[in-house]
Amino acid sequence: MSAALRAEWVKATTLRSTWLTLFGYVVAVAGIGVGVVASVGDVEAAQPDHDPGTIAFYGLNFGHVAVIVLAVLLTAGEYARQTVHASLVAVPRRGTFLAAKLTVGAVLVLVTAAVTAVATLLLTQAVLGAPGVSLATPGMLRATVAAALYPTLLAVVCMAVGMLVRDQAGALGLLVPFFFLLSPLLELVPGLQRVAVFLPDRAGAVAVRLHSRPIDVFGPVAGLGILALWAAAAALLAWWALRRRDA
């Protein structure tokens, strides 16, 4: 397993696209978060239902793009570059191959997301000024940890989908509309709201909030747990498909 991890690490970190997408994630999450707080932070902070976690990490909604792209490049990209055959020759145990790939991708996203979450919180609250919060504010440490785990688990889901679809354009064409169109819209439909919150991205977003909404049927910890179950299920499905299909 260690050899497979080293091989996947080398493959991932020697691709320029990996660092560009991770940089794009930092810019999107931190930059948009600061921009939103600078624009409407004072107004939002004055509202009785103000949720510091939601506005501080508003950029996570846009950081999903970088997570999706990175996940697809690391998985379906193997098929596009036609390197998957060589990879499976080097690591014939497909479960080991997949586990190493998912682990490396998750670690890259986790480290980037953790640093970005802390930096985003500090920057947005510095811009907000007096109404700002800190890690010592009840619930903010949990929200900041969730802001790192949420994109990491989402990356695992997307990497698994990339391995299932095996086509970069196809995977992006499935994931981007789902997370940016279908999932948010379903949460707005009255009869489907309480079902939509169980979708991967919606469940993860619950963990970043400090206050629950009327449509939330579970709390922050359960939200991360539900997202983790989605990630585990997607990984198992990708493993099953990888074992049954030819490369």
Nearest to 106 by CA among 146, 143, 150: 150
State pLDDT tens for residues 98-140: 999 999 999 999 999 999 999 999 998 888 787 777 888 888 9
Mean of all residue pLDDT scores within the chain: 89
Sequence spans of domains, the chain: 1-241
Nearest to 120 by CA among 144, 97, 149, 101: 144
Report the alpha-carbon distance of residue 238 to residue 165 in Å, rounded: 9
State pLDDT tens for residues 173-231: 999 999 988 888 988 888 888 889 999 999 999 999 988 888 888 999 999 999 999 99
**What is the 3 state secondary structure string of 144-198?**
HHHHHHHHHHHHHHHHHHHHHHCCHHHHHHHHHHHHHHHHHHHCCCHHHHHHHCC
Interior angle at CA 104, CA 221 and CA 204, nearest 5: 20
Give the global pTM: 0.91
